[in-house]
Chains A and B, each alone.
Chain A
Amino acid sequence: MTKVLNLLLQYYREHLLNPHLGMKLFLLQRVTGLGIAFYLLMHITVIGSVRSGPQAFDAMMTRVSEPAWLFKPLEALLMAVLLIHGLNGLRITILDFGSLAKHHRVSIAIMAAAFVPLVAIGGYLFLTHIVSG
């Protein structure tokens, strides 16, 4: 417990020392990464219910889609989290391999500009097509 608190304190100090936006994105990349890993664990478990038979699978799909007012927003959140992690990951990769670190400010602006339409389109498709799972 103290270890976790120390870690959080360390993060706080690092952010005081380096208040740049890139540092926030670095932290966000870790948090979203862990969140996606946790989600995929659930995704595999839910899909794996097929091994208990078609009825078990159908029952599981109902359980993870109702009530819709709870699961629909969570799915839209998943889309946003995936887009943040994916776009930021591509941004870092392009900066690294292209020796473009001096343009990091522009890269963050481009990423933010790409995020808005993608999360709107992706969020719309998620909300209209995905029941759950």
Chain B
Amino acid sequence: MPWVLQRVTGALLAFWIATHFIFWHFAHSEWSFASVAARALTTGSSGWLWDMMLAGLCLYHGLNGVRNIVYDYSPKVSKVAWLTPALWVVGLAGIVLIGYHLAGFRTA
């Protein structure tokens, strides 16, 4: 299952990161708080959700990638069994943290 999801999230990321670059980076070149917050407000909560989906895809794909590398070089799977739940904790904490960060442009 993670094998398939790594490819599905990877393909989705190629598309999501393209939209991220176009909206956040290529359409503008001004980086003050005022400018970023103004752009964030044009898309509102659905824009926040779009960004959060990107964050979720990145976290799953990235942390699963790290897991793949560790498992690849671990002679005993039982020795690194703690890794998967630990990475889920990191990922879920990450998504909460990013959601809190990004809301800072829309509420402040």
Contact = CB atoms under 8 A, between A and B. Distances in A.
B101 A40 contact: no
B102 to A, nearest CB: 8
Contact of A93 (B10, B66, B108): B10
Interface in A43-67: 44, 47-48, 50-51, 53-55, 57-58, 61, 65
Chief secondary structure at chain A's binding surface: helix
B65 A33 contact: yes
Main secondary structure of the interface of B (DSSP, over half): helix
A50 B34 contact: no
A57 B33 contact: yes
Contacts of A97: 7
A38 B21 CA distance: 19
A96 B98 CA distance: 33
A132 B29 CA distance: 10
A93 to B, nearest CB: 5
Interface in A14-55: 30, 33-34, 36-37, 40, 44, 47-48, 50-51, 53-55
A125 interface: yes
A93 B62 contact: no
A73 interface: no
Nearest to A47: B101
A7 interface: yes
Nearest to A46: B101
A57 B105 CA distance: 10
Interface of B: 7, 10-11, 13-14, 17, 21, 25-26, 28-34, 36-37, 58, 62, 65-66, 69, 73, 94, 97-98, 100-102, 104-105, 108
Interface of A: 7, 30, 33-34, 36-37, 40, 44, 47-48, 50-51, 53-55, 57-58, 61, 65, 82, 86, 89-90, 92-93, 96-97, 122, 125-126, 128-133
